[in-house]
């Protein structure tokens, strides 16, 4: 049986979140604390308190850690509503990279690590980073991981350089991927380490700079980071040594879907602005919406939004049934990121010249969304993996 209906309480919560974002969060989109490097920490904290007051903070966290333990389909419905503003997920503490990091830590961290590194992120007190990508090493191909860790039986020493690390500046919970060298104590290979951004010894974690990028929706922007003899105790290993790539996959499948959910909400917002413009702006004796060239663009958007939602819901439904849905989430990520970017582009086109100005939020959505086709696997890498699976069949 295929049942597309949503429970009434889920629909009501979706509508409440959409209302919250429109009434309380959208006004912050012109706040100067939304900088070229994303919302700053002061703005983030203010937004987080608004969500906390509405009992909408970190609702996705497991029940035993204070959340509602949302299923994947429930997340899809509620994150889409939150995504109406790119600041919505920031307020509700379900934005990247914290959302994916919280998911990973809730699955792999031990009780001490949960207390020290996860709970302060769940309660909105501190932010987290996932540091994998490197200028001369790991990127699309994580096997190229060049950051090294050595172990002397007591401590690890980490050295290497990373970039594109979202939220690096000001984050306290650090998840660092490094290659553990052969040693007589522990299995070697790519390993995840937890570090405290504040407590790291001077020089251990060096934020070289925050990169200037075309997006500005992630708190703290994207940093270039150097690990310089970062010394960590044995208990800083997250999970088991040598298992980092497996844990990264565990994080990625749901995390790439939650990107799809949030961006779907943002694309819907852009479409609503384009529709309003098409209804009211006139050219050649009628509204521009009455010109087929424009109505077809809006129709293409409507079709794409619908297809994206169905694709997301299907992958989420599979995961709710206990499937890993790696193939489906990979198809969803590549399809949704490409389609939604076309939606945003057509919205810019419908708006005419003002489409590229900040007279509306469409321009910001267009720029912010561009990176979605790259992170959590560029489209080509997903297609490459999908193609290999197709050929194996
Ligand atoms: C906004 C943003 C935020 C990010 N945040 C983080 C973060 O918090 N932490 C982190 O560790 N990383 C982060 N990243 C990095 C992101 O994960 C990488 O950009 C991504 O994995 C691609 O790696 P790369 O940039 O090194 O591209 P490369 O690996 O150099 O690839 C470049 C291009 O080559 C092509 N390509 C590569 N492999 C294949 C293939 N097999 N088949 C066909 N084409 C291929 C693709 O078109 C790809 O875009 C972020 C990136 C962005 C843009």
Ordered DSSP codes for 120-151: HHHTTS--EEEE---SSS-SS-GGG---EEEE
Output the CA 159–ligand 1 centroid distance in Å.
21
Q: Are 339 and 303 in contact (CB under 8 A)?
A: no
Q: Is the pLDDT of residue 201 over 70?
A: no
Closest atom, ligand 1, to C-alpha of 162:
11
Question: What are the pLDDT digits (tens) for 123-141?
Answer: 999 999 999 999 999 999 9
Which of 137, 143, 164 is the pocket-test mutation for ligand 1 (most atoms within 8 Å of CB)?
A: 164
Closest atom, ligand 1, to C-alpha of 167:
8
199-235 exposure pattern, b = at least 16 Cβ within 10 A, e = fewer: ebeeebbebeebeebebbbbbbbbbbbbbbebebeee
Which distant-in-sequence residues (6+ apart) come within 8 Å of 392 by Cβ? Answer: none
Write down the pTM of the prediction. Answer: 0.97
Question: What are the pLDDT digits (tens) for 229-285?
Answer: 999 999 999 999 999 999 999 898 889 999 999 999 999 999 999 999 999 999 999
Q: Are 333 and 377 in contact (CB under 8 A)?
A: yes
Q: Which two tokens stand for residue 326?
A: 């790696």
Distance CA 92, CA 359 (A): 26
Residue 287's pLDDT is what? 98
Output the CA 41–ligand 1 centroid distance in Å.
26
Q: Whose CA is nearest to atom 17 of ligand 1?
A: 375
Q: pLDDT band for position 172 (50/70/90)?
A: very high
User: 244-280 and 98-108 are packed helices; what angle lies between their axes, rounded to 10 degrees?
Assistant: 150
Question: What are the pLDDT digits (tens) for 79-133?
Answer: 999 999 999 999 999 999 999 999 999 999 999 999 999 999 999 999 999 999 9
Q: pLDDT band for position 200 (50/70/90)?
A: low
Q: Is the pLDDT of residue 202 over 80?
A: no
Question: Could you tell me what percent of the chain has a pLDDT over 90?
Answer: 96
Residue 374's pLDDT is what? 98
Output the CA 203–ligand 1 centroid distance in Å.
27
Of 29 and 393, the structure prediction assigns the larger pLDDT to: 29
């Amino acid at each position: 049986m295929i049942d597309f209906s949503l429970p009434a309480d889920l629909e009501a919560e979706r509508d409440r979140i959409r209302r919250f974002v429109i009434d309380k969060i959208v006004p912050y989109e012109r706040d100067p604390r939304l900088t070229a490097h994303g919302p700053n920490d002061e703005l983030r904290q203010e937004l987080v308190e608004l969500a906390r007051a509405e009992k909408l903070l970190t609702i996705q966290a497991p029940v035993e850690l204070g959340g509602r333990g949302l299923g994947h389909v429930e997340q899809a419905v509620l994150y889409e509503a939150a995504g109406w503003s790119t600041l919505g997920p920031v307020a509700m503490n379900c934005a990247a990279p914290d959302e994916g990091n919280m998911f990973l830590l809730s699955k792999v961290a031990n009780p001490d690590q949960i207390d020290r590194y996860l709970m302060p992120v769940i309660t909105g007190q501190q932010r987290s980073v996932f540091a994998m990508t490197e200028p001369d090493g790991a990127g699309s191909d994580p096997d190229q991981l060049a950051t090294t860790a050595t172990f002397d039986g007591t401590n690890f020493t980490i050295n290497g350089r990373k970039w594109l690390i979202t939220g690096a500046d000001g984050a306290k919970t650090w998840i660092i991927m490094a290659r553990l060298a052969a040693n007589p104590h522990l299995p070697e290979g790519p390993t995840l380490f937890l570090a405290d951004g504040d407590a790291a010894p001077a020089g251990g974690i060096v934020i070289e700079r925050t990169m200037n990028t075309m997006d500005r929706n992630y708190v703290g922007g994207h940093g270039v980071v150097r690990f310089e003899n970062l010394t960590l105790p044995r208990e800083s290993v997250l999970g088991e040594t040598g298992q980092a790539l497996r844990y990264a996959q565990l994080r990625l499948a749901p995390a790439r879907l939650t990107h799809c959910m949030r961006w779907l909400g943002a694309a819907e917002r852009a479409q609503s602005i384009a529709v309003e413009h098409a209804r009211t702006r006139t050219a050649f004796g009628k509204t521009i919406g009455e010109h087929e060239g424009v109505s077809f663009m809006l129709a293409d958007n409507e079709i794409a939004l619908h297809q994206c939602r169905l694709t997301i819901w299907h992958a989420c439904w599979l995961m709710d049934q206990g499937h890993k849905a790696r193939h489906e989430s990979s198809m969803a990520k590549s399809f949704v990121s490409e389609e939604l970017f076309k939606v945003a582009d057509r919205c810019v086109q419908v708006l005419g010249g003002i489409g590229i100005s900040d007279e509306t939020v469409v321009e910001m959505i267009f720029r912010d969304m561009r990176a979605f086709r790259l992170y959590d696997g560029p489209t080509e890498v997903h297609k490459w993996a999908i193609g290999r699976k197709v050929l194996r069949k």
